[in-house]
Amino acid sequence: MLRQFTRQAARAATGTTKRTFLTTASVAPRIQFANNSAASSLLRSQISARAIVRPNVFAVQQCRTMFIQTDTTPNVDSLKFIPGVAVMSDSSTAEFLDARKAMGSPLAKKLFQIDGVTGVFFGPDFVTITKNQDAIWQLMKPDIYSAIMDFFASGQPIISEGADSPSAPADTMIHEDDSETVQMIKELLDTRIRPSIQDDGGDIEYRGFEDGVVKLKLKGACRTCDSSTVTLKNGIENMLMHYVPEVTAVEQAFDAEDEVSQLEFEKLERRLMNQ
Residue 54's pLDDT band (boundaries 50, 70, 90)? very low
CA distance 75 to 129: 11
CA distance 275 to 50: 70
**Coil, strand or helix at 135:** coil
Q: Listing from the earlier edge strand, what are the strands of the sheet with 94-96?
A: 69-72, 78-82, 127-131, 117-122, 94-96
Residue 167's pLDDT band (boundaries 50, 70, 90)? low
Domain ranges of the chain: 18-63, 69-154, 180-274
Examine the pLDDT at 210 and tell me if it is beyond 50: yes
Q: What is the pTM of this model?
A: 0.67
CA distance 53 to 117: 36
Across 55-64, 107-116, 238-247, least confident range: 55-64
Examine the pLDDT at 115 and tell me if it is beyond 70: yes
Q: 113, 80, 116, 81: which is closest to 99 by C-alpha? A: 113
| CATH value of 180-274 in 3.30.300.130, 3.40.50.300, 3.30.70.260, 3.10.129.10 | 3.30.300.130
CA distance 85 to 153: 12
Residue pair 243/188 in contact (Cβ under 8 Å)? The answer is yes
Q: 130, 114, 9: which is closest to 81 by C-alpha? A: 130
Across 51-55, 127-131, 238-242, least confident range: 51-55
- The chain-wide mean pLDDT, for the chain, equals 76
Q: 85, 101, 100, 93: which is closest to 155 by C-alpha? A: 85
CA distance 181 to 184: 5
Q: Between 58 and 207, whose confidence is greater?
A: 207
CA distance 242 to 257: 33
CA distance 263 to 173: 32
Homologous superfamily of domain range 69-154: Scaffold protein Nfu/NifU, N-terminal domain (3.30.1370.70)
CA distance 131 to 21: 68
Residue 51's pLDDT band (boundaries 50, 70, 90)? very low
CA distance 97 to 101: 7
